[in-house]
Amino acid sequence: MTKMNKAKIISNWEAERILRFLPKADGLIFRLSIETGLRISDILDLRAWYLGKIMYVREKKTGKIRIVELSDALIGELQPLKDEALRNEDKQIYAFPSSRTPDKHLHRSTYHRHLKRAAKHALCECSAHSGRKLYAKNVFNETKSIAEVQKSLNHKYITTTATYLGVDLVELLTMWEEVQNSTNKTIHRLIN
């Protein structure tokens, strides 16, 4: 299994507070992470011309393809970045370029530093991975299924997903037993 990231699981309320203190571009990155569950490295690597309602993103870490859908509100905020790239007819422009070297994307450590500063002002703790964990938490709250969260994050192991949700292995096994018992009872009722 892979090494677990110790990023704090933040609430939607904490995320909103943090967003108030982030510069616009960093706020868009944070929102993309929360809305899609993409890793920061994948978000920073996005080209501006490619931003759209539905995107196919190859994850750097796993090499797997993720299909992500953006909200209309977020698309509206990202559209100027895409329009500028299309106007310049340059498909190499990053959505979030470095201010020092525009032909390169914003560095992960720069984003992390901005996020930490904003979190401090918002009286919260978070890291670059907190948005992805909040996405996982939101998917779980919507579906009540760890398997759905695992699938949406492209996790190989359910234990990784459980860790993202702050569920320990004993809780996970208890949940699994409850699902199995419920399924068995339903099958038994259908047969009889």
Q: What would the two tokens of residue 101 be?
A: 């070297």
Q: Is residue 96 within 8 Å of residue 29, measured between CB atoms?
A: yes
Chain centre to alpha carbon of residue 96: 16
The more confident residue out of 94 and 184 is: 94
Is pLDDT at 1 greater than 70 in this prediction? no
Question: In the predicted model, what is the mean pLDDT of the chain?
Answer: 88
Rounded Cα gap, residues 90 and 5, in angstroms: 36
Give 14-27 pLDDT, tens digit per residue.
999 999 999 999 99
Sign of the four-CA dihedral 5, 175, 156, 129: negative
pTM: 0.83
Q: All domains of the chain, ordered by start, with CATH?
A: 12-191 (1.10.443.10)
- Compute the distance between CA of residue 84 and CA of residue 7 in angstroms, rounded to an integer: 34
In tens, the pLDDT along 114-159 reads 999 999 999 999 999 999 999 999 999 999 888 899 999 999 988 8
Q: Could you report the per-residue pLDDT of 66-99, keeping only the tens digit for each?
A: 999 999 999 999 999 888 888 887 778 899 999 8
**What proportions of the chain, in percent to the nearest 5, are helix, strand and coil?**
60, 5, 35
Q: What is the CB neighbour count within 10 angstroms for residue 51?
A: 22
The share of the chain scoring above pLDDT 90, in percent, equals: 61
